[in-house]
Amino acid sequence: MSEYESEKNNDIESEDVQKEPKTEDEGWKEGKSKLKNVTIRGIDSDIYDQFSYKIRNLRMNLGEAITKMMNDIIVDLDDSLDHLPALRARTTFDNFTLERLSINHYDRLKISRADLEEANAQVNFSHIDKLIFLPDVTREVFTRYVKSVTHCGIVRMPSIFPKLIMYSKLQFCDRIEVYNVEDANSKNSFED
């Protein structure tokens, strides 16, 4: 047998040798080596608090949840930068182009339909002692423009909102008062 044939046989033997399966510990270490600690600047603290609260209620790890969301976005996006298809998350991106505003730290604030429509933004209300949504705020306007209401004292809402729609936007509020729209209009109960 020539030297060339001997090397060729050794190559064939090495290809035929099966690799042993990785132990559970080796698999974990390989997966762990792919993890990366990341600091993200510019995240709205109220949104972060709400998100982490919901993730903890689902008994998920925050890092795993964010990784899954980022992977879903990567899978769903095509090569075009100006096209954002519906993502797998339940939220819709009808309002994706809307600016986001935060209204914080007021004693008393009355919000009308015109206020929300003129702002043409998704609004986060937080740390307001008494927040009143006037009777002309419709369910559609509330859903489109109010992103969240958090850490408020008293929140007064018109009775035309379904409870679950209302509660989905409210978190960490001391008291929620639902008023009858007809009674409020006849009594002018919003005048100081």
Q: How far apart are the first and last CA of the chain?
A: 105
Q: What is the pLDDT of residue 27?
A: 53
Q: Can you give the length of the chain in residues? A: 192
Per-residue pLDDT tens for 26-73?
554 555 567 788 888 888 888 888 888 888 877 778 888 888 877 767
Domain boundaries, the chain: 42-91, 99-187
> Hey, what are 158's tokens?
């018109």
Of 85-94, 120-129, 179-188, the least confident: 85-94
Q: For residue 62, which phi and psi values (nearest 5 degrees)?
A: -60, -40
